């Protein structure tokens, strides 16, 4: 199964060891879930990791990026999707998910979650990592 993670889910998993994302991490480690990504997604994660309000030490930032590089399946840029997000920073996740035809886009972002119904009509489930449907999909 393939899933796209937006930046806040990568952070929850790689930096904060959020209990909700632990099963996701286990599934990725076991090869049950593959995480396609793009250089723009890595760039966004690197930018967010540097936010002063996160108060992350350089070693924490480096570790998160190392783990991202280990787990993300980098691919070439993809064309823009015909479904657009109001937040241009989140569009890359939607573009990648729809282009690859993955089943899941995991996010806690309101702008992406607002597109759930429209995305589902295209075969994409936009879900929070704590949603029961996603949890059931990886059990």
Residue 139 has pLDDT above 80, yes or no: no
The residue extents of the domains of the chain are: 3-138
- Could you report the per-residue pLDDT of 9-58, keeping only the tens digit for each? 999 999 999 999 999 999 999 999 999 999 999 999 999 999 999 999 99
Quickly state the pLDDT bin for 88 (edges 50, 70, 90): confident
Return the CATH number of the domain spanning residue range 3-138.
3.40.50.1010
Q: Are 69 and 15 in contact (CB under 8 A)?
A: no
Mean pLDDT of 80-87: 90
pTM of the model: 0.93
Give percent of the chain with pLDDT exceeding 90: 89
> Could you tell me where the DSSP H helices lie in 15-131?
19-29, 39-49, 58-71, 91-100, 110-113, 116-120
């Amino acid at each position: 199964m393939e899933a796209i993670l937006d930046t806040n889910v990568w952070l929850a998993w790689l930096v904060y060891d959020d209990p909700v994302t632990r099963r996701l991490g286990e599934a990725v480690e076991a090869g049950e879930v593959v995480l396609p990504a793009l250089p723009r997604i890595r760039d966004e994660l690197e930018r967010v990791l540097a936010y002063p309000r996160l108060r992350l030490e350089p070693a924490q930032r480096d570790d998160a990026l190392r783990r991202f590089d280990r787990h993300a399946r980098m691919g070439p840029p993809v064309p823009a999707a015909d479904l657009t997000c109001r937040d241009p920073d989140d569009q890359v996740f939607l573009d990648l998910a729809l282009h690859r035809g993955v089943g899941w886009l995991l996010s806690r972002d309101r702008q992406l979650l607002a597109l759930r119904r429209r995305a589902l009509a295209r075969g994409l489930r936009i879900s929070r990592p704590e949603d029961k449907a996603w949890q059931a999909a990886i059990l």
